[in-house]
Amino acid sequence: MTIAGLDSPFWFALGRSVLVGFTVAGGSLAIGWPLGVRIGLASFPLRRFLLALLALPLLLPSFLIAIGLSMLWRGFGGAMAVVWVFACLGVPLVTFAALAATLTLTRGQADAARLAGRERQLFRLALRAAFPLAGLAAALAGTLTLADPGPGQIFGWPGAASELLTSFAARYDRALATQQAVALAAVAALLAWPLAWKLAPEVAAGLFARDVNRPSPLRAPATTGWVFGVAGLFTLLPLFGLLKPLLVQRRPVSRAWSEVTRTATDTLLYAALAASVAVAVAFALAWAAGRSSARRRWLVTAALALLALPPALPALWLIPWSGRFTLGVALALRGLPLAILLALRAIGSMPPSWANAARVHRVPRATFLGRIALPWCARWAFPAAAISALLATAEVGTVLLLHPPGHASLPLAVFTIMANAPEALVAMLCLLYLALALTLAVTVQQIIRRL
C-alpha cells in the first residue's frame, strides 16, 4: 500500500518515530518541568555544579550517548533504549527551559503568590509561568528524535530517519529521501501546530519587569536533591559507559591529543560559522514576525518542522557547492529552530515604549539599533549562538558530506576512527571532546554574565 507515493514500511517506521517522539517529549516534560521550576526557586548545596553535570549530555552527539549506554548495559535495546538516549537530551533541555522561565519571576510576583497560599502557591505559579517554554522545549526534544537515525540503528528500533538513511546511503536515491523527508517534516508540522498555536504568542511576549529583584529562595526539601540526583544519574549513566574503557585500558593520551590538534581549529571554525549564520537568520525572521501572533505561530511551526528534517538531507543537495562556508550554512540549519525561539523571545520582550520614545526624541535609527536594540538582543543572541554552535559541532553527517578534504571536525574524527580503534582511544577522544564543548559553554556563560 502506498500513500503519497511512499510505501507502507516507511509509514510504519514513521509511526515508530512518532511514538518515540511523543514518549520522549512527554517523559522529558514530566521530569524536566517540575525539576527546572524547583531548581529555579530553591537553594541547595552544589546547585551550580549539579546543573553543570546535568548539562553534559547536551554537549554530546546522540550516537555517543547510545554507544555509551550499549557499552554500559550489553544486550539492552529496543524502543526503551532509544527513548532513554533521547531523554538524556530532552530532560536537561526541558529542565533548563523551565529554569530559565522561573528565573524571570520577580520578587513582587513571588511575594503575592506566597501571601495567597504560601510556598505551594508560589510553586504552582512558577509551574504555570514556566509551561510555555518548558512545553516548547519538550516539543523540540520530541521533534529532534524524528531526524536522528543513530540510536534507532544502534538499538534495533529503526524509525523514519533510518528509512531516509537507507534511501540515500544504501539506495543512493536522493529524490526518494527528499520525498520521505518532506513527509516527515509535514507530519512534524501537523503535530506541532496546536502547540505552536497555544504557546507561540506567550513565549514571544515575555515579560518586561520593572521589579528586577529576585524572589527569596525556598529552603529546598530533601526530595529536591534526591529528584535532582536521580534525574542527573539517569542522564549521566550512558557517559560512564562511554568512559569505562579508560579505567581498564592504557590511556592513549598523545594519539588522542594529536587528533584533537588536527581537528580543533576547523571544529571551532564550523561552530562559529554555523552560530553566526543561525543567529543572523533567526533574528531577521523574528524581526519580520514582529508582534503579530499569527506570524509568530507560523514561525514556531516552521521551526519545529525544520528540526524534524534530517540535517544530512539538505547537505546532499549542497554537495556541488561544498566548502567551509557552505558547511557553515548547512550546519546553521541544525541550530536555527532553537535560535528562532530565542530570537522571538528577545524581540517580543523588548518594550515597544523604547521605540516610541526614540521616535519622539528623533533618535537616529542606527543609534537606536546600536545602543538599545542590539545590546538587548545580545542577551538572547549569545545563548542562541552557543546552542547553535553545540548542535552544529555534534552533527556528523553534514560535515562528512561537505567538509573540504583534510579539514574534518573532531566529532567526525571520532566517528571515523571508532570503527577499529582501541576502545580506550575512542573514550579518550570523547573525553577531550567533552572538555572542548564544556570550555565553549563556560566561555559563553562568562560572556553573558558580563553583558
Partner 1 sequence: MRFVFLILAVAGLIGCKPSNKLSNTVVVYTSVDDVFARPVCEQFQKQTGIEVKLVPDTEETKSTGLLNRLIAEKARPVADVFWSGDPVRAAVLKAKGISAPFKAANPADATGRFSDSAGHWSALSARARVLIVNTNLVPVSDAPRSLNAFLDPKWKGKACLANPLFGTTSMHAAALFETMGEAKAKEFFEGLRANGVKMLSSNGEVKRRVAAGELAFGLTDTDDASVAMKEGKAVAMIYPDQDGAGTLIVPNAAVLIANGPNPERGKKFIEYLLTAAVEQSLAESEAAQMPLRPGVTVPSGVKRVEEIKTMAVDYEKLGARLEELSAGFLRTWAASP
CB of 339 to partner 1, least distance (A): 14
* Site map 53..72 versus partner 1, x via CB under 8 A: ----------x--xx--xx-
| 12/298 with CB nearer partner 1 | 12
Q: Which of 171, 250, 291, 371 binds partner 1 (CB under 8 A)?
A: 171
Residue 7: which H helix or E strand, with range? strand 6-7
Q: Provide φ and ψ at 219, rounded to 5°.
A: -80, 120
Side chain identity at 228, as an amino acid letter? F
Site string for partner 1, 381-410 (x = CB under 8 A): -x-------------xx--xx-xxxxxx--
Residue 176's alpha-carbon distances to 160, 180, 233, 309, in angstroms, are 13, 6, 41, 14
Q: Report if residue 325 touches partner 1, rule: CB under 8 A.
A: yes
**Helix spans in 349-406 (H):** 352-360, 365-368, 374-394, 397-402
Q: In this complex, which beta carbon is closest to partner 1, that of residue 50 or of residue 269? A: 269
Among 48, 172, 360, 361, binds partner 1 (CB under 8 A): 172
Q: Does 369 bind partner 1 (CB under 8 A)?
A: no
Q: What are the residues whose beta carbons fall under 8 Å from the beta carbon of 213, sequence distance 6 or more?
A: 106, 107, 108
What backbone torsions phi and psi does residue 107 show, to the nearest 5 degrees? -60, -40
CB of 167 to partner 1, least distance (A): 9
Q: How many residues does the chain have?
A: 451
- Residue 432, classed as helix, strand or coil, is helix
**Spatial CA neighbour of 146 closest among 74, 215, 229, 62:** 62
252 binds partner 1 (CB under 8 A): no
Of 144, 37, 134, the C-alpha closest to 94 is 134
Q: How far is the CB of 59 from partner 1 (least distance, A)?
A: 19
3 state DSSP class of 214: coil
Interaction of residue 178 with partner 1, rule CB under 8 A: no
412 part of the interface to partner 1, by CB under 8 A: yes
Q: Which residues bind partner 1 (CB under 8 A)?
A: 9, 12-13, 63, 66-67, 70-71, 74-75, 149-150, 153-154, 156, 158, 162-163, 165-166, 168-174, 269, 272-273, 275-276, 312, 315-316, 319-320, 322-325, 327-328, 375, 378, 382, 396-397, 400-401, 403-408, 412-413, 415-422, 447, 451
